[in-house]
Amino acid sequence: MKKFTILLPLFLGGLFFAQTKADSLEFKKISDEILTNGQAYNNLHQLTKDIGHRLSGSEAYEKATKWAYEKLKEAGADKVWYQDVMVPVWERGKESLQIKSGKNSWKSLNMLSIGNTEGTGGKDLEGEIIYVKSLEDLDKMNEADVKGKIVFFNYPFNQTFISTGQAYGDAGKYRFSAASHVAAKGGKAMIIRSLSSAFDDVPHTGTQTYDTKYAKIPAVCIGVKSADELENTLKTQKVFAKLNSNCGMKGEKLTHSVIGELTGKKDQSVIAVGGHLDSWDVGEGASDDGAGVVQSIEVLRTFKKLNIPNNHTIRVICFANEENGARGAAKYAEVAKEKNEKHIFGLESDSGGFAPRGFGLVMNDEKRNEVKSWSALFFPYGIYDFSKKYAGTDVEPLGDLGTPTGELAPDSARYFDIHHTNEDTFEKVNRRELLSGASAMTQLIYMIDKNW
């Protein structure tokens, strides 16, 4: 038996070595193809410059769905279709915020209404601003001290977190849900410091949800500089605000996610990869999430171009409505469940087209360890981190059905400088960084397609 137990590992070792070599060559082919012939950067230019920002429900979003349909065809999809999604329609309209202290005249601030917020109906809403240090402090305050006031939070991004996503999560509640806490105490509007890693005066919008038990009060964000100045002024004097905005929910609308696939050669089980096609209604939606859309299309294009024989169906989903409802994601999983489509993996790119460093993974330990066992193949491409346990918002509903999911994890330094702002433009995306991310995604999907 001894001889056998020595030979078997040698034999398996030999097989392992030969396979690893073949995979390593395929990784190089994928990287070479994308870094030299990749279309993702040019496609992003079209999406951002020809269409621009595209909140779901808008005309621009409709244009984007047609564009995505054509791009998936062009990339070589066997089949492309629209998936119906009913989305909330939120419109910003005109908006302004002015403040006044002492004998000074009114001064305009750079501002954006928080998404999904109701505005002032085009009338001036005036009131005294009160600074409240934290949501916890607010919850402890007497109603009499808040009633009729405009509550101002200046909770900063924690710069010491290495992942800016962690800092975003930490400060997130001020945008996501604080307005209803203010309303619960009788406050009539809310102003918050933007969720931003930068130190400029650019306001960052984003979604929020009202607790329907309370009044739907207007909620706006201002830039970091203005927020610090305002906090400072409030230390010594009263400050009044005049807010005027037209924003609000305008019902619902039928629109679409756009889906294209390369049909599986061995079976019809699905590897899903996507980004969200919608964006906030500012900037160009380049990093959030034009990048993820064009990278996902690039995965399909590369499989087709290199003639990689995909065992399973590689399906690209350009999701509708991630930003203010995530209805596209919910609908996709609902249909997959109805049709009893087996999904073996769901991957999203929604953290910007920055230099890739790894993948967040949500799956059992066995699968995770299998992915980690491929690390040496990824290392030469700067992909080394498989430790994070998260996946994109749009593949979460698939995860809830038991599908292993993940998200491209690019370097996080720059994303929250421009996230949900007028600065989220094509110019902030670097060609090589974007393409490297697409390459890493294609490499991971190649391995999963082959081994799962």
Site residues (vs a copy of itself, CB under 8 A): 31-32, 35-36, 159-160, 162, 164, 197-199, 355, 357, 380-382, 384-385, 411, 413-414, 417, 430-433, 436
DSSP H helices in 108-202: 135-140, 143-146, 164-171, 173-176, 178-184
CA end-to-end span of the chain: 32
Residues whose CB is less than 8 angstroms from the CB of residue 29 and which lie 6 or more positions away in sequence, other chains included? 306
Nearer residue to a copy of itself within complex by CB, 55 or 286: 286
Query: Nearer to a copy of itself by C-beta: 26 or 394?
Result: 26
Q: Which is nearer to a copy of itself, 122 or 380 (CB)?
A: 380
Q: Is 249 helix (H, G, I), strand (E, B) or coil?
A: strand
Q: Decide whether 105 or 160 has the Cβ nearer to a copy of itself.
A: 160
Question: How far apart are CB 424 and a copy of itself at their closest, in Å?
Answer: 15
Q: How far is the CB of 374 from a copy of itself (least distance, A)?
A: 16
Query: Cβ 161 to a copy of itself, closest distance in Å?
Result: 9
Give the nearer residue to a copy of itself in terms of CB position, either 225 or 337. 225
Q: How far is the CB of 32 from a copy of itself (least distance, A)?
A: 5
Q: In what order do the strands lie in the sheet with 95-101?
A: 107-108, 95-101, 239-245, 125-131, 150-153, 189-193, 219-222, 111-113
Q: Identify which of residues 341 and 385 has a Cβ nearer to a copy of itself in the complex.
A: 385
In this complex, which beta carbon is closest to a copy of itself, that of residue 242 or of residue 357? 357
d(Cα 384, Cα 48) in Å, to the nearest integer? 31
Q: What separation in angstroms does the CA of 81 have from each of 68, 250, 259, 271, 319? A: 10, 27, 5, 17, 12
Angle between helices 291-305 and 431-451 (to 10 degrees): 60
Give min distance, CB of 328 to a copy of itself, in A: 31
CA–CA gap between residue 170 and residue 190 (Å, rounded):
19
Compute the distance between CA of residue 48 and CA of residue 38 in angstroms, rounded to an integer. 17
Cα-only R_g, the chain: 24
Contact present, 349 and 401 (Cβ < 8 Å): no
